[in-house]
Amino acid sequence: MKQDFSARQEYYQKIARAFLKHQTSLFFLPPRDVSLISEWEKLGLPLEAILEGIEKTFAKKLAGRRKRKIYSLSQCEREILKAYAQYQDRLAGSSTPEINRLDKIEKARAEINQCLSRLPDSSESELKKFLTEALALLNSKEIDEDRLEQIDEEIDNLLWESSSPEERGFYLEEARKDYPGKTAQQLQEIQRLLLIKGKRQALKIPYVSLFYH
């Protein structure tokens, strides 16, 4: 029991240290980030993949033309899941990665089909177009994974642009509560991140990139 607690403590502390070493104005993780670590722990995400994803997120930030700020562990999640997918492939060995990949493709297809089935048949929405394109890519022989990532970003933009003032107000208050002391611009970036994640979960809109599956 003591060993379990010690291992959990080390898991949380190492993730926090890896993230906070890149911060100049943040000295502890807000409750929402601690909850996210708890989700990763329940999913069984290994520490190695999480630390790799955090480092890659900050490396990309430095290399990018647009110097976006990283305020939350949520902003590292994409790179963490990519690192986890690669970790699984390495662990599986050379004989089974293709099987694992096929499982991911099937899971992504199933989730997209479920989401499309909930949309009205007559719907010509942008969301339907994006999901239909993603499904076509996943059904093709050569899957364009870069385009799948772009589609996820386009869906995120759509969810933000179509959100109501009430929704934006709610998530701005959530950002203020979880990240006190941030500037107005910083809070807006966090607000956008929280809103998109919240709407994806509420509307059951799947991610189409394979590393999410």
Task: Decide if pLDDT at 124 tops 70.
Answer: no
At residue 178 the predicted structure's pLDDT band, cuts being 50, 70 and 90, is confident
At residue 100 the predicted structure's pLDDT band, cuts being 50, 70 and 90, is confident
Long-range CB pairs of 74-77, under 8 A, 24+ apart, other chains included: 74/32, 74/33, 74/36, 74/193, 74/194, 74/197, 75/193, 76/19, 77/36, 77/53
Q: For position 61, what pLDDT does the model report? A: 75
Q: For position 199, what pLDDT does the model report? A: 93
Q: For position 85, what pLDDT does the model report? A: 83
CA atoms within 13 A on the CB side of 116: 17
Task: Decide if pLDDT at 110 tops 70.
Answer: yes
- 53-65 pLDDT tens trace: 999 998 887 665 5
Give the range among 63-72, 107-116, 202-211 with minimum mean pLDDT.
63-72
Task: Decide if pLDDT at 213 tops 90.
Answer: no
Q: For position 67, what pLDDT does the model report? A: 58
Long-range CB pairs of 178-186, under 8 A, 24+ apart, other chains included: 178/30, 178/31, 178/32, 179/30, 179/71, 179/72, 181/25, 182/71, 186/69, 186/71
Task: Decide if pLDDT at 133 tops 70.
Answer: yes
- Rg of the chain taking only CA atoms, in angstroms: 18
Mean pLDDT of the chain: 86
Give the range among 71-85, 93-107, 140-154 with minimum mean pLDDT.
93-107
Give the residue extent of every domain in the chain.
Answer: 1-92, 105-213
Question: Which among 162, 171, 209, 178 has a CA at the least distance from the CA of 193?
Answer: 171
Share of the chain above pLDDT 90, in %: 46
Task: Decide if pLDDT at 92 tops 70.
Answer: no
Instruction: Please give the sequence-ordered ranges of beta strands (E in DSSP) within 169-209, or none if there are none.
Output: none
| Lookup: tokens for 23 | 């911060």
Task: Decide if pLDDT at 106 tops 90.
Answer: yes
Element containing residue 35 per DSSP (H, E): helix 31-43
Task: Decide if pLDDT at 182 tops 90.
Answer: no
- 16-43 pLDDT tens trace: 999 988 876 677 888 889 999 998 998 8
Q: For position 66, what pLDDT does the model report? A: 55
